[in-house]
Amino acid sequence: MTSLQTTRLSLRPLAPADAAAYAAMRFHPEVAKWLPAGTDADPLAAARAAIDRFAAAWRERGHAPWGVFLDGRLIGHGGLNFVPEFAATEVLWALHPDTWGRGYATEVARAALAFGFDMLELPLIFAITLESNMASQAVMRRIGLGYRKRVDYKGFKDVVWFDVDREAYRRVMDSCGQGPVQNCP
């Protein structure tokens, strides 16, 4: 399991000891409205189950969402998640509302893209969100993903799908070192 340090954040796999803090973030009403509903009525049990799923994905695929920590405090999750329904890997993020608007989602997503393309050599990474989630769509654009289509996912209708393939990502990254470039991931 891989841990990373960004400019401001620590990214590491979630551990069982993180369950209570994770539940508080994941099931905060302002966060939960953007995410698929869980099947467990007990947020702590659902958080523990998610942490177990993430740990299994780390073992099986070499990637899963990380816990996102700011000054040692869990503020969310973010990273890469294989989605069997689409047979592809998504970049995702969910952060506690008291951290919104500070660029943390973009920072996590950029680290996840670099990890996915440079370390794992994934061919394509996508992101999905509700059409009304303009903040997440702005992050998707900032990290170099482009709108492709609409999909239905886990009870959400008309979800917007953005993606970027490894070659396009590398072209953009190469051009970022060649002077001022708009939208450098």
Fold of 4-176: Aminopeptidase (3.40.630)
172, 134, 154, 130: which is closest to 39 by C-alpha? 154
The pLDDT, as a whole number, for residue 179 is 44
How many other C-beta atoms can be found within 10 angstroms of the C-beta atom of residue 119? Answer: 12
Q: Could you read off the pLDDT of 129-183 as tens digits, one per residue? A: 988 889 999 999 999 899 999 888 777 777 899 999 999 888 877 776 544 334 5
Listing from the earlier edge strand, what are the strands of the sheet with 146-153?
Answer: 4-5, 10-12, 65-70, 73-83, 88-95, 124-130, 156-165, 146-153
Query: 92 forms bridges with which residues in the sheet?
Result: 79
The pLDDT, as a whole number, for residue 141 is 92
Domain-wise residue ranges, the chain? 4-176
Query: 161 forms bridges with which residues in the sheet?
Result: 128, 149
